[in-house]
Amino acid sequence: MTELVIDVTDLSKSFGATKVVAGLTLQVAKGEICGFLGANGSGKTTTIRMLCGLLTPDGGTGKCIDYDIIRQSHDIRRDVGYMTQRFSLYEDLTVFENLDFVARVFEMKDRGAATKAMMERMGLTNRRDQLAGQLSGGWKQRLALAACVLHQPRLLLLDEPTAGVDAKARREFWDLIHDMAVDGLTTLVSTHYMDEAERCSRIVYLAQGHIVVQGPAAKVVSESGLVTFEGTGENVETATRALRATPGIEAAAVFGHSLHIAGMDRAALQRATESAGGGLDWREVPPRLDDVFIHLLSAKETNP
């Protein structure tokens, strides 16, 4: 039987008259990397904060790392690593001093050895005495990740951890996450980057506080029912302007010398390609995860 690290049912949370999370049910297995997707305000951060014990749900039940999310929130906080989008360590302390401080907070035994081992694992040894405030964005995120897992939590919660970080640093960051997943660490990560979402074992798409769709990225794409066509040529910008206003086309975007259109009605898309003009060469192509993401977002805006 699969061991569940997160197992919650019908979670809800409101702030005043605004319901942010509404009847959310979620299960995440040990060692899984689960991606949280959704527009800003969809409830991702609020859900993460309820799971790690920082917010008390208005309703719902369940466990996180075998602790009751209502009655044992303090225990959850001691056994989870939570990384926010904003760098939250001390910029006037060195890399070593920040990690040593975290080790003190968690009352770790032999914290010097633990801190040294973590710096080696995260590639921070050569930056041991560098002030955190002088690190680049990528190295700050790596230090923040080191601080989150220093006390060996069983669950890692990441809230848009690589926002504003360059592509190389993002890839290296995700390599570290996958390495830790091999060791059994469970990760729930919210992201707006589709390439990151595709690296997750499973994705969960939230809209208006509840789950709309979930599953492996390839399955979510294949079961979306979305149809996409690609046109290539020299006049894609002119064709895009016209196609965006064409019935049946949900999205039209330019990528260099190609035009990508998407919708649910294959016949309508085919008619649009035939009447688009501009001398473009059209072919049907498989939809991408970002196509599905935009489709789901548009559907919720149309039918709130």
- Dump pLDDT digits (tens) for 166-205: 888 889 999 999 999 999 999 999 998 888 999 999 999 9
Q: Do 158 and 249 meet the contact criterion of CB atoms below 8 Å apart?
A: no
pTM for this predicted structure: 0.89
- Position 302 pLDDT exceeds 60: no
Question: How many independent structural domains does the chain possess?
Answer: 2
Q: Under a CB-based contact definition with an 8 Å cutoff, are residues 158 and 188 in contact?
A: yes
> Contact at 8 Å (CB) between 8 and 65?
no
Identify which of 87, 66, 83, 85 has the alpha carbon closest to the alpha carbon of residue 154: 66
Considering only CA atoms, which of 127, 133, 151, 159 is closest in space to residue 52? Answer: 159
CB neighbourhood size of 12 (10 A): 18
What does the alpha-carbon distance between residue 216 and residue 231 come to, in Å, rounded to a whole number?
A: 28
Per-residue HEC secondary structure of 15-76 comes to ECCEEEEEEEEEEEECCCEEEEECCCCCCHHHHHHHHCCCCCCCEEEEEECCEECCCCHHHH
Burial class (CB in 10 A: 0-12, 13-18, 19+), 293: buried
Distant-in-sequence, close-in-space partners of 7: CB < 8 Å, separation ≥ 6: 26, 27, 62, 63, 64
Backbone Cα Rg of the chain: 22
Which CATH number is 238's domain given?
3.30.70.100
Residue 22 lies in a domain: yes
What pLDDT digit, counting tens, does each position of 120-168 carry? 999 999 999 999 999 998 999 999 999 999 999 999 999 998 887 888 8
**158 plus 195 within the same structural domain:** yes
Burial of 167 (0-12, 13-18, 19+ CB in 10 A): exposed
Maximum distance among all Cα pairs of the chain, rounded to whole angstroms: 71
Instruction: For residues 239 and 93, state if they share a domain.
Output: no
End-to-end CA distance of the chain: 38
| 168 within domain boundaries | yes
**Judgement on whether residues 107 and 151 belong to the same structural domain of the protein:** yes
Let me know: does 113 contact 96? Beta carbons within 8 Å. Answer: no
The count of other CB atoms within 10 Å of the CB of residue 25 is 13
**196-254 pLDDT per residue, tens:** 999 999 999 998 888 999 999 999 999 999 999 999 987 788 888 888 888 889 888 88
For position 170, which CATH number holds? 3.40.50.300
Question: What pLDDT does residue 164 have?
Answer: 79
Domain match, 260 and 187 both: no
Q: Which residues contact 96 (CB under 8 A, 6 or more apart)?
A: 115, 119, 128, 129
Q: Would you state the pLDDT for residue 277?
A: 67
Give residue-wise pLDDT tens across range 5-50. 999 999 999 999 999 999 999 999 999 999 999 888 899 999 999 9
Domain that holds residue 39: 4-221
Angle at which helices 167-182 and 137-149 cross, to 10°: 20
Examine the domain organization and report whether 135 and 273 are in the same domain: no
Residue 182, in any domain of the structure: yes
Q: What is the pLDDT of residue 278?
A: 66
101: in domain: yes
Percent of the chain exceeding pLDDT 70 equals 97
Q: 56-97, pLDDT tens digit by residue?
A: 999 999 999 999 999 999 999 889 999 988 888 999 999 999
Residue 203 lies in a domain: yes
Q: How confident is the model at residue 301 (pLDDT cuts 50, 70, 90)?
A: low
